[in-house]
Structure 1
Amino acid sequence: MYGIDLHNNKDRYFTIGDNKCQKIAFLPLKRQITVNKVSPVNLELEKFKSEKLNEAEISLHLTDKQENELSSFLYDHKEAFASDKEPLGAIIGHEVDITFNIKRPYPPLLRIPAYPASPKSREDSEIHIKELLDLGVIRKVGHNEEVEITTPVIVAWNNGKSRMVGDFRALNTYTVPDRYPIPKIQIALTQISQAVYIATMDSLKGFHQNVVTTRARKCLRIIVHCGVYEYLRIPFGIKNVPSHFQRMINEIFPQELSEGWLIIYMDYIIVCYKTWEDHMYKLSRGLTKIQSVNMKISLKKCHFGLKELKALGHVVSGLSLGIDKNKVEAVLLKPMHQKKKEIQSFLGFSGYYRQHIKEFAAIARPLYKLCDKDTVFEMNVDSVKGFEYLREALTTSPLLLMPDFKLPFKLYIDASGDGLGAALHQVQIINDKPVEGPICFISRQIKPAEARY
């Protein structure tokens, strides 16, 4: 027989069944909840992720562990990044100077009054001036300061948005040229070969982080309807700035550039490597150098953990190099060009991708003839065919393999009465299978003297 006997004594208990010796008591249950104190570092990290890091693009291919590691890593290097509303960096030790090929007194061409502008353009120029003043890019020249050089500005409009640019053509005419070489982007992008992880970064406000020498500031004075202003940082449109920037980059990152995992074209920075651990180590080296010279990176233009990227009109991965179809879409939608300048612009655009197009020189030959000085512009059958073929080639050209310099190459050559052409190929192992594909196409027209023999 089973039952429950309850005893109302001080120590409450009950028994089950006939076993009076087995006493079972109800004890009060105390639930203990432990709340771990969140460290200030974790709070700051979460704030960084929610307020700043969400501006950057992080690849969906990363695992949760890799994404968390990347977030903590970028937080540790947060001083290297800034948003549009934060103070600009001022790169240390690389001030920009300007050298003229003339002496005082300067010609009147270097002192031009402000250009006439519409009320809307004047209003927007005041907005741009205020933004540059707030960023510390310019300062207002006092009424008692001597002014020898003034450059007028132009307010350019595109899709309803304005941009203020200085008309520095006269200043550039009298500036001694700097011949420091700029790397070819197509060659630079081949360094991404075999990379699995790619990170891209962009310098905030570009050249505005380059400080100008005191002497050069007097040459960089712009004039608008509301006064004269002096650039303290390099403005856009100045001669020699790309050469100066490239020299500066080579001096800041000599070892990193020579090792091949860092690619910098102007203010566009690429870090690429095969393994995640090594990629993060290389990224740390790059950001440490960036912080050491007080350069700032724009987070909203950063991309991390990519397998492929769109850069300077190309789609690039560790295996191939292709044309960014979004860049050529606008060209395809335009009707047949009917002016010489339009054909010249089209040839410049398609020529940028000539390494992707087989026998480019022979195809474009009729179009180049149209652009000769002594040629009457008239679209004939050959030029129309060349135009249509190039437009089609921009969207149907094959992907180029990234070269592997440890493997042999194959060179296919061809020649005709109009031009010379070659195709550089290579056999690579892709998905455990040997695949032969083009590395690049090369072509040029036959010169008149060469055609005689």
Structure 2
Amino acid sequence: VFQRLSRHGLKLRTDKCQFLQRQVKFLGHVVDKSGISPDPEKTAAVQGWPVPSTVREVRAFLGLAGYYRRFIVNFARMAQPLNALLVGVSADKKSSSRKVEWSTDCQDAFVKLKTCLTQAPILAYADFSLPFVLYTDASHQGLGAVLSQIQEGQERVIAYASRSLHPAERNNANYRSFNTIERECLAIKWAVPTLRYYLLGRAFTICSDHAQLQWLHRMKDTNERITRWYLPLQPFKFEVVHRLGAQMVMANFFSRQ
């Protein structure tokens, strides 16, 4: 670190430095030898967060929760009732003070997100000398992905990712007509670019519980939809392997819970 600072002519203020620490807090995170986790001081404040009653308060809560979304399993699906309160609402001051209709689903989502924020897992550091494994899954509710690596004989999670289907997708007759393979391909088409920082420029493995996806490279020439979705994946080098459904628990949990 010091060599790099010296190389670039950068200086540090000693009163703002910490040395020989087992862990440090940085930008709302705790960093130690095991990995990265949310700062307990930040997430503890969530426990006393009052139930939002206005658009502004819903946005504030989702802003905090969204900052830590990579630590929250199935974040997109879980936050969907709260995000629905903001659909079609402009960002002006008058709209922000508008009261929201707080439903049972909103309360359940609010409580679950608060619980997950205070029980967030430790994510491992990516080791770019080791291969990555990407689990993907799709359902009628959303898309999910888990990026992992085998480190010291154990599979460690590097990042979680998920998103709900957009209203246009959910209500789109074309999406409802997608077969299972096409939905799974859509998950891959979304997940790989989402995690491009880790995956671009290196070979990786995609695990799916659908055996036919092992021939994704061939299907791109026989299915018009898959052909379109395959184009953004061309810069990436990957192999699709089949794993039984029981081994796909992590990704399935994302899109179906």
Q: Determine the C-alpha separation between the residues in 1 that align with 2:77 and 2:103.
A: 16
Q: Determine the C-alpha separation between the residues in 2 that align with 1:449 and 1:284.
A: 52
Tell me the CA shift for residue 396 of structure 1. 0.8
1:403 aligns with one of 115, 119, 126:
126
Number of the residue aligned with 1:305: 20
**Contact 1:370/1:376, CA 8 A, preserved across alignment:** no
Number of the residue aligned with 2:32: 317
Higher share in helix: 2
Number of the residue aligned with 2:65: 350
Q: Determine the C-alpha separation between the residues in 1 that align with 2:135 and 2:35.
A: 20
Given residue 409 of structure 1, which amino acid in structure 2 is its aligned partner?
Answer: F
Structure 1: segments with no counterpart, 5+ residues: 1-270, 272-282
Number of the residue aligned with 2:115: 392
Number of the residue aligned with 2:242: none
1:413 aligns with one of 136, 142, 154:
136
Number of the residue aligned with 2:44: 329
**Contact 2:55/2:99, CA 8 A, preserved across alignment:** no
- For normalisation by structure 2, the TM-score amounts to 0.58
1:422 matches 2:145: yes
- For normalisation by structure 1, the TM-score amounts to 0.34
Q: Could you say if the C-alpha distance between residues 284 and 344 of structure 1 is closer, same or farther in structure 2, counting changes exceeding 3 Å? A: same
Per-residue Cα deviation, 1:72-93 (whole angstroms, up to 9, x for no partner):
xxxxxxxxxxxxxxxxxxxxxx
**Contact 1:403/1:439, CA 8 A, preserved across alignment:** yes
Q: Determine the C-alpha separation between the residues in 1 that align with 2:127 and 2:7.
A: 30
Tell me the CA shift for residue 370 of structure 1. 0.8
User: What RMSD, in angstroms, separates the aligned Cα atoms of the two structures?
Assistant: 2.1
Instruction: Give 3-state SS (helix, strand or coil) of 2:31's partner.
Output: strand
**Contact 2:40/2:118, CA 8 A, preserved across alignment:** yes
Per-residue Cα deviation, 1:109-145 (whole angstroms, up to 9, x for no partner):
xxxxxxxxxxxxxxxxxxxxxxxxxxxxxxxxxxxxx
Per-residue Cα deviation, 1:184-237 (whole angstroms, up to 9, x for no partner):
xxxxxxxxxxxxxxxxxxxxxxxxxxxxxxxxxxxxxxxxxxxxxxxxxxxxxx
List aligned pairs for 1:89-108, cutoff 5 A.
Answer: none
Given residue 310 of structure 1, which amino acid in structure 2 is its aligned partner?
Answer: K
Given residue 314 of structure 1, which amino acid in structure 2 is its aligned partner?
Answer: H
Per-residue Cα deviation, 1:402-450 (whole angstroms, up to 9, x for no partner):
1112222222222222221111122211xxxx22221110111212332
**Contact 2:34/2:122, CA 8 A, preserved across alignment:** no
Q: Determine the C-alpha separation between the residues in 2 that align with 1:366 and 1:428.
A: 37
List aligned pairs for 1:165-244, cutoff 5 A.
Answer: none
Aligned residues: 164
Q: Could you say if the C-alpha distance between residues 301 and 425 of structure 1 is closer, same or farther in structure 2, counting changes exceeding 3 Å? A: same
Instruction: Give 3-state SS (helix, strand or coil) of 2:19's partner.
Output: strand
Q: Determine the C-alpha separation between the residues in 2 that align with 1:381 and 1:437.
A: 35
1:435 matches 2:143: no
Q: Determine the C-alpha separation between the residues in 2 that align with 1:285 and 1:361.
A: 39
Instruction: Give 3-state SS (helix, strand or coil) of 2:62's partner.
Output: helix
Per-residue Cα deviation, 1:50-98 (whole angstroms, up to 9, x for no partner):
xxxxxxxxxxxxxxxxxxxxxxxxxxxxxxxxxxxxxxxxxxxxxxxxx
Tell me the CA shift for residue 376 of structure 1. 6.8
Q: Determine the C-alpha separation between the residues in 2 that align with 1:308 and 1:445.
A: 35
Number of the residue aligned with 1:359: 74
Q: Could you say if the C-alpha distance between residues 327 and 427 of structure 1 is closer, same or farther in structure 2, counting changes exceeding 3 Å? A: same
Instruction: Give 3-state SS (helix, strand or coil) of 1:346's partner.
Output: helix
Q: Determine the C-alpha separation between the residues in 2 that align with 1:347 and 1:323.
A: 16
Instruction: Give 3-state SS (helix, strand or coil) of 1:350's partner.
Output: helix
Q: Percent identity?
A: 39
Instruction: Give 3-state SS (helix, strand or coil) of 1:306's partner.
Output: coil
**Contact 2:54/2:99, CA 8 A, preserved across alignment:** no
Q: Determine the C-alpha separation between the residues in 2 that align with 1:378 and 1:356.
A: 28
Tell me the CA shift for residue 337 of structure 1. 1.8
1:449 matches 2:168: yes
Tell me the CA shift for residue 306 of structure 1. 2.7
Larger Rg: 1
**Contact 1:358/1:423, CA 8 A, preserved across alignment:** no
Q: Determine the C-alpha separation between the residues in 2 that align with 1:356 and 1:327.
A: 14
Tell me the CA shift for residue 287 of structure 1. 4.2
Number of the residue aligned with 1:379: 102
Instruction: Give 3-state SS (helix, strand or coil) of 2:81's partner.
Output: helix
Instruction: Give 3-state SS (helix, strand or coil) of 1:329's partner.
Output: helix
